[in-house]
Chains A and B, each alone.
Chain A
């Protein structure tokens, strides 16, 4: 089961739990200026970003923060799992959606991180990238096809 509302947070590369007891108030939403209050004391800080990449500036220090929703979480785990597997690898759909483009054909050599295909889900295009380098031995889907989570998309040698 996927908890679609849970957010996984990494602060400066380390998993972190959001702090309790703070009250936030936007001072200037467009610039990301926020007032944070706790225990009767207020501090001004900055929050900037989009998607899963954020930066929060506290007392002059700009701190990188990764905020992963269920989609990025699933993609990240699939990538990690794939990297750990040395043999032939099946790349499966990590989310349900519509195949929009397929960038590779059987026989193509790909490097880790190369775009393989895009899946449109919840009106967002999600790029599926090669979890490791290798030769494509099979492509099981085509543009326009709807896929469910776990459906095999292609195989890497």
Chain B
């Protein structure tokens, strides 16, 4: 796409993040002729994201609070390295208005929405009031901080969700089913919110269930032009956090889609907005939608939109930050085909999706037509408890949803991660699940259909037993090395004969 400026908008950009998103941003910098600068904590010295960049600055000790969340350390690193702008990625400082201001105060460009927008939308309660005033439907509930008087909550009707005003992204949420649980839950939610966000303010929303979680991608330039780049359906969630995202949503009508886009414009209009953001909604079984929150940053799942629009969202974030105008080709970008992303996490889906730490063994990512993998993982890498256990994002793109699901099944079968349990077994189950295949699923899918996962099939049990026994035979001291082995019944005898023939 043609841009206003033929020259790179910045000589160097500091990527204030780690892992796959740092690698992904680095790639766009390279394509734009910009020198990417990485940052690393002591735990990440030599990590893949530092090797992808031209240079990496040490910013502190392993705990994120002493490195990736340290505003002074990151600003100092940017100044030392001669970067003209900072891209915050997602998580860490990406939605921290103080950080955005500190970047600007240091004479650098913050690649993201203005601090005032980050601040206004970061307070979820204030955002609810502003959005409601703009005529966009919000989830029914309170629009002022909850006090000890519970009558406001009782008027909403149970079950309710208690949420932290300073929360977001599924953090700081607590479900309450009965009035007698309310007082205790409110006290616990306040404590959690105060501990996690330094602000114990909470509010209540009616639980919308069944519901789909659908979000709208926005890009806005500094000259008042707004691009609505379609929606992503993120209804496959555990712990209120996303595991799978797809576009277009298989569960909404064209009328609902148009209404979502209109509401997303309305939400963006409540603040002075530019750069990239996502407006999240719940859509109930009747097709009614309710504003949840607006995230003023690049989302983990932005690649889904990139696949259906063919746009590089990170490149546009950088151009917008440099003052470029959004051309018609972006504002009216057609959306083609269907894209699905699945997140590969180091966590155990057979044990409540509990995060696991450990060392990655084998590491094979899928390739081939219509497949994109965003990752900073590799064989032998230590998955540390300090950071997010996201190992990789596997994305597929195809002409329609059935073809995309088929492609995803193939891509997952090519994906091999050893050394620790991952959610790959869940994802492989999901592509064969009837509700997912139909597209007729909602945010309750994991709770209702997966639970703790299906029991091991007899076939898989017998195969696992055979493979492990054969592997042990081969590693036994003095065992004959074989290239191939065959299981027969009785299974032991023939394998030994094969070994003897060697």
Residues of A bordering B, CB below 8 Å:
5-7, 9, 11-12, 14, 16-26, 28, 31-34, 36, 43-50, 52, 54, 56-63, 65, 67, 69, 122-123
Q: For A123, what are the chain B residues with a Cβ–Cβ distance below 8 Å? A: 477
Also in contact, A28 and B362, with CB within 8 A (given A16-B461, A18-B487, A61-B460): yes
Complex contact B460–A26 (CB within 8 A): no
Which residues of chain B come closer than 8 Å to A22, judged between CB atoms? 463, 466-467, 486-487
Q: Does chain A have a CB within 8 A of B415?
A: yes
**What is the bound-complex CA distance between A153 and B461, given in angstroms?**
39
* Residue from A21, A28, A31, A47 in contact with B471 in the complex, judged by beta carbons closer than 8 Å: A47
- Chain A residues with CB below 8 A from B485, complex form: 23-24
Contact bitstring B413-439, A, C-beta under 8 A = 1, else 0 = 111111111111111100000000000
User: CB-CB < 8 A to A69: which residues of B?
Assistant: 472, 476
Q: Which of A16, A46, A49, A122 contacts B465 (CB 8 A)?
A: A16
Answer whether A60 and B487 are a contact pair too, CB < 8 Å, given A19-B463, A32-B362, A47-B471.
no
Q: Are B416 and A33 in contact (CB under 8 A)?
A: yes
A54 to chain B, nearest CB (A): 4
Closest approach, in angstroms, between the C-beta of A18 and any C-beta of chain B?
4
A31 touches B496 (CB 8 A): no
**Contact between chains at A31 and B361 (CB < 8 Å):** yes
Tell me, in angstroms, the Cα distance from A9 to B422 when the chains sit together. Answer: 24
Interface centre among B362, B419, B421, B475 (most CB of A within 10 A): B362
**Could you tell me the distance between the alpha carbons of A45 and B428 in the complex, rounded to whole angstroms?**
13
* A-B pairs with beta carbons under 8 Å apart, 22 shown: A5-B492, A9-B469, A11-B456, A16-B465, A18-B470, A20-B462, A21-B487, A24-B467, A31-B379, A36-B463, A45-B467, A46-B418, A48-B419, A57-B417, A57-B418, A60-B422, A60-B426, A60-B427, A62-B422, A63-B464, A67-B472, A123-B477
- Pick from A23, A44, A52, A58: contact of B464, CB below 8 A: A58
Contacts of A32 in B (CB 8 A): 361-362, 418, 471
Closest CB-CB distance, A53 to chain B, in whole Å?
Answer: 9
